[in-house]
Chains A and B, each alone.
Chain A
């Protein structure tokens, strides 16, 4: 990765553009960022605090807001921890073993990226809805999946599945199997090898994947909107509540919740930058 990065370093001697053009290009990029990223963020926070700090915290303390925050945290905890396990297993299988259908498995992991979130939600309606494939059985046994926490968790897991696996696969492929083979030949068990050799090697990549997975899990709107049923104080996540409050003319409350999501995005961005630096550092000595 670092070698690649080096070859992309701009070298002054190949640039033939005069300074003015370079300046214009940089200015355009900065302007673009200001308009499309910074300005909306400023608007979110300005609207959230437009009636003062106490109105902001009153809005966040409403039972419906608290319920949405709780639900969002719960859904993120469920989907991130499950995708952590699935992601490591999938990446492990793909990076360290050869088997038939491996390419197929890789494209399958990528599938949620290429499917519209609304479709991801509808799939679960078709599977678990009362008119759906498992619907009659679920109703007969009084199991509620759709329009309840399990459905929201399933839809979120589906859309966030690729993040951990995608972050790990290139990393694990690059590292190869030599270190594990050495550990096993020295008498370590499979689990020991995993926890003492593999896991330390991938921990930063893993954190990176978890971070992105978490950001998406908390921010997902489309898929969750389809399976939520929008029961107030029960199945509305934070992104859904932002829309509902906005439509109820409760602009301060709406932007207060939105500001929490924006803060999550900013923290994610910061942590991502730090992790990327860590990842690059780690790889310098291991570059052969």
Chain B
């Protein structure tokens, strides 16, 4: 009884390892980038083959940004991490896997593409949502994931806070506004994609706070006749950073190809792929070309409004931080 089972197992093992590229990279990323990296990896592999004559296969792993960082810390052999926010990469760097100055190794805060936080509403915008303060109107249900586990949710939270602080004039009032906002949230999913599915598929809520790229994707998948994107006049500049995991890349001997992979983001082709997938490109020429695809939004950065991720994380999202305090009440 055991022998045929073992024979079958051996056969599958061999079949699994039949194909091997010259180089194999593992890119550990966050949830909404699946479609983006599917396209980018293909383009990079072709470019690399043309340039060096060598084949490269980039494997992907996606999940909540925080839990992906945790997996890399626990030994997931990522050559590259492309996460939702700098703090999650800092957490990996703190374990000695990545050089502490990683964010200075590539231009523009090591964030080759950016995004912002927008609102996805149902067709015809029945609740008349135009700006952040419309979210706390009576009877409006807001869908956003849990900032404890989701990078996107932290951007959502900080965007709302930044708006309120600017508009209402003080941190105290911003705190009240965000507390009020979370009273309008009926369910906290663990990740951005989970929230999108809750809003789009299950039909819960009146407005989804989402990455701009995620909102565009949902619209593409389900039709413009079902959902509308509302860009608020003021929002946050979300910078999802990328870097090499030094320890892993050096051990596997993939540093050169991993570096080329990340540099490719800053090329014309890379920037175009970002724009096509509704991420805001950094390159001014490409940005101009795709100007019409993105709404004009006044954007503030996390450094300006919160003094960087380390501080924002500690004040707002750490155990016992402001989010814990307001969500309990």
Residues of A that sit less than 8 Å from B by CB: 67, 70-71, 73-74, 77-78, 80-81, 84-85, 125, 128-132, 135, 139, 142, 144, 146-147, 229-234, 244, 246-249
Contacts and interface: CB of A to CB of B under 8 A. Distances in A.
B131 to A, nearest CB: 29
B75 A146 contact: yes
B16 interface: yes
B75 A234 contact: no
Contacts of A73: 8, 12
Contact of B12 (A74, A144, A232): A74
A77 B3 CA distance: 11
A231 B74 contact: no
B62 A77 contact: no
B61 A77 contact: no
Given A74-B12, A84-B2, A248-B34, A231 B26 contact: yes
Interface in B62-119: 62-63, 71, 73-77, 95
7 closest A-B pairs by beta carbon, nearest first, are A130-B75, A129-B74, A77-B9, A229-B76, A249-B221, A147-B76, A230-B61
A80 B5 CA distance: 9
Interface in B23-39: 26, 31, 34-35
A53 B222 CA distance: 22
B60 interface: yes
Interface residues of B, number: 32
Contacts of A230: 61-63
A85 B3 CA distance: 13
B263 interface: no
B75 A129 contact: yes
B8 A232 contact: no
Given A80-B5, A233-B59, A125 B16 contact: no
A194 to B, nearest CB: 14
Given A230-B61, A249-B221, A74 B9 contact: yes
B5 A147 contact: no
Contacts, number: 77
Given A73-B12, A81-B9, A146-B74, 19 more contacts: A77-B5, A77-B12, A125-B74, A129-B75, A130-B73, A130-B75, A131-B95, A139-B75, A146-B75, A147-B77, A229-B61, A231-B59, A231-B60, A231-B76, A232-B59, A247-B193, A247-B194, A247-B197, A249-B221
A78 B2 CA distance: 10
Contacts of A144: 75, 77
A81 B61 contact: no
A102 B245 CA distance: 49
Contacts of A78: 9
Nearest to A236: B61
Contacts of A146: 74-76
B213 to A, nearest CB: 14
A77 B71 CA distance: 27
Contact of B74 (A70, A84, A131, A244): A131
B189 to A, nearest CB: 11
Contacts of B74: 125, 129-132, 146-147
Interface in B183-232: 193-194, 197, 221-222
A102 B16 CA distance: 42
A130 to B, nearest CB: 3
Question: Most chain-B Cβ atoms within 10 A of its Cβ — which of A132, A144, A147?
Answer: A147
24 contacts: A70-B16, A71-B16, A73-B8, A74-B13, A74-B16, A77-B8, A81-B6, A84-B2, A125-B74, A131-B73, A131-B75, A132-B74, A135-B75, A142-B251, A144-B75, A146-B75, A146-B76, A147-B74, A147-B76, A229-B71, A229-B76, A232-B61, A247-B194, A248-B35
Contacts of B73: 130-131
A18 to B, nearest CB: 43
Contacts of B31: 247
Nearest to A148: B77
Contacts of B221: 249
B21 interface: no
B15 interface: yes
A135 B95 CA distance: 14
A130 B13 CA distance: 25
Contacts of A135: 75
A139 B2 CA distance: 32
Contacts of A147: 71, 74-77
Contacts of A139: 75
A67 B197 CA distance: 26
A37 B26 CA distance: 40
A81 B15 CA distance: 20
